Structure 1
Amino acid sequence: MELRVGTGFDLHRLEAGRPCILGGVQLPHPTGPAGHSDGDAVLHAIGDAILGAAGLDDLGTLFPDTDPTFRGADSAALLVECVQRVAAAGWSIVNVDVVVATEGPRIAPHRAAMRARIGELLGLDPGAVNVKGKSLEGLGALAGGTGVAVQTVCLLQR
């Protein structure tokens, strides 16, 4: 059995009037991640982690923000395409672990829904998906709820 680890990172500004979609779940919040697509930084980071572990191109190469085809795209659909590419390369996803750093929406009340949705998209039991929310403690450029940063790690096997 061959194993590979991949990491993913994404960062989005939070803007008023945008839906707050994180981990494939719409959270009740007055601001949401800005982006060419729906801005779901969680799914973007997961996509980059699984693609990277499989040695494939990254999300920005596959779905460039210069291509109008992807304007407003559903990040869940993009992640499913990433999963299909990883599977076509002979890999299966073992687990993912996600850290969401923000002073915007609280993550804890939505963890179970996010784990279930991510598991569904990746073809994993929710027990193989972990999501943690972290406060920024008022530090840095994202303090005050101006953005969301996501770090992800995954394990693939074949």
Structure 2
Amino acid sequence: MTNLRVGIGIDRHPFKEGRKLVLGGIEIDFFLGLDGHSDADVLSHAIIDSLLGAASLEDIGSHFPETNEWKDVSSLKLLEKTIQLLKDHGWQIVNIDAIVVTGLIRLSQYRDQMIENLSRTIGIPKDCVGIKFKSSNGLGFESQEGISATAVSLISRNSSN
């Protein structure tokens, strides 16, 4: 059995009026939010799925179904529970790399806050969290309808396992 594993996660949510826009646990100043059962934080959701996939622990919907328990919950809470699940299975997180795609809003001014927030939540150094932002170049869903995120994670077996 290998001591290193890689996982990938992808998420996307459409814009919705009357909701806050949250990415990486940071509230973004924008007139639209994202539609979803929780806070619809696509960045955190993609990270969660990448971690669960790397550890072969199914996906975000398996652990956090669309029930009242998870309605409007902060995705950072879901991320914290995911990290504990990985720890319970003998895994530690090495690094995270993610891309957020949207054509309607520039997000680079929030990068440092997101990295700080995710680093603290995940429990890894800031230089082990990478976040990039891409425009959609006027193409597809992300150009006007919503935001997507893709994340890759590297995890390792705890030395005691």
Gaps of 5+ in 1: none
Number of residues paired by the alignment? 156
Q: Matches of 1:71 and 1:22 in 2, distance apart?
A: 17
- The alpha carbon displacement at 1:51 in A equals 0.8
- The alpha carbon displacement at 1:42 in A equals 0.5
Q: Given the two structures, how large is their TM-score scaled by the length of structure 2?
A: 0.94
State the partner residue of 1:152: 151
State the partner residue of 2:52: 51
Contact 1:9 1:152 in 2 (8 A): yes
State the partner residue of 2:61: 60
Gaps of 5+ in 2: none
- The alpha carbon displacement at 1:43 in A equals 0.5
Q: CA RMSD in A?
A: 1.0
Q: Matches of 1:95 and 1:129 in 2, distance apart?
A: 6
State the partner residue of 2:112: 112
- The alpha carbon displacement at 1:16 in A equals 1.7
Letter in 2 for 1:49: S
Which stretch of structure 1 is more off in the superposition, 73-82 or 103-112?
A: 103-112
Runs of 4 or more above 4 Å deviation: none
State the partner residue of 1:102: 102
Q: Matches of 1:102 and 1:139 in 2, distance apart?
A: 10
Q: Given the two structures, how large is their TM-score scaled by the length of structure 1?
A: 0.96
For residue 143 of structure 2, give the secondary structure of its aligned residue in structure 1.
coil
